[in-house]
Amino acid sequence: MTLTYPLARYRFEFEATTAIRLPEYAGSALRGAFGHALRQLACVTRAKTCDGCLLAATCPYTSVFEPQKPMSASLSLATPPVPYIIEPPEWGARQYAPGETLTFRFTLVGRAIEQLPLCIMAWRRAFARGVGAGDGTAELLNVAYEEQTGAIPAVGATDLHNPIEDRSNQFEPTTTDQLIYHPGETVAEHSRLLTLAMQDVPATVTLEFLTPLRLQENAHALPPSRLVPRPLLMALVRRASLLSEHHQGQPLLTPAQFTELSYAANGIEGQTQMEWRDWMRRSARQQCTMQLGGCIGTWTLTGDLTPFWNFLRLGEYLHVGKEASFGLGQYRILL
């Protein structure tokens, strides 16, 4: 029995051609460079904004970087989640000298995977134009598809459409890499589904947050003292569901299942060892510097986690909370 989800994660390797200086957290800078290059490649109107564009519904730029609000959705939706996640180099300002290798991960969800060749071109253009302070440049070496081949505990169904049922065994995840692109070649065929074998769900798991978690309430990120399991679990459920619904056209949950999960989340207990971490980012669109922050550390969840296990595992790829698209809310599961 397996779990499947329309998702593909890639590892990009670039070789610096001039010195690249990345800030303490590079996710926002990489996202900005990627979006600018993608728009240059995809936009045929050269309009300043996408508002009111007749091509917005079919444009590859809007489908990846600025998805349009759907006419209807089974879950309430103000702004559609973007179907990509950038996982930059680990936290800490760093410099890459010419000849050194810069590596990061880039995940696409649903129909956005079809735009991988365009995304590769956008990343190449972004690094050719320059990223980071001083606009350091780099050339693409290769792109690898990361395939999950090990086993994970089961939520009990063959996919996410039945998240409440239970099944069996234990946990040993492994990953294999498939080189799918070198400059000058075409993109090799590869899977467009994340496939995870299913086994026993533990009664206690610990999430180690590697980048700041921003769970919001009334437009403000919650501090460590106010973190409780229910908002986290439902944020995971909602994110996985909305991404699948909007970018694959396949709702994961009925309203009744969503309500059932909401009630089940009340029975999960949590213990945190989290601290607040601030960081600064420059917004090119708003022409200002923004101070953002979130919670890092470990969060242990205890209870009947079976209904949420698919979503917890998916969260390792999709991340959770605000600004997940440029890498915040990244965690790994510790058993």
- 224 versus 79: the higher-pLDDT residue is 224
Check if the beta carbon of residue 248 is closer than 8 Å to that of residue 332: no
Q: Phi and psi of 265, rounded to 5°?
A: -65, -25
Predicted confidence (pLDDT) per residue in 245-287, tens digit: 999 988 888 999 999 999 999 999 999 999 999 887 665 555 5
pTM above 0.95, yes or no: no
- Structural tokens at position 281: 């980012």
Every domain of the chain and the residues it spans: 2-334
Rounded to 5°, angle at Cα 125 from 49 and 9: 90
Predicted confidence (pLDDT) per residue in 174-193, tens digit: 668 999 999 999 999 999 99
> Is the domain 2-334 a CATH 3.30.70.1900 member?
yes
Predicted confidence (pLDDT) per residue in 307-321, tens digit: 999 899 999 999 999
Asked if residue 170 has pLDDT above 50, the reply is: no
Instruction: Specify the range with the lowest mean pLDDT, choosing from 67-71, 150-154, 318-322.
Output: 150-154
Q: What is the average pLDDT value for the chain, to the nearest integer? A: 87
**C-alpha to C-alpha distances, 151 to 89, 170, 172, 190, 197, nearest whole angstrom:** 26, 7, 5, 20, 5
Query: Residues for the chain: how many in total?
Result: 335
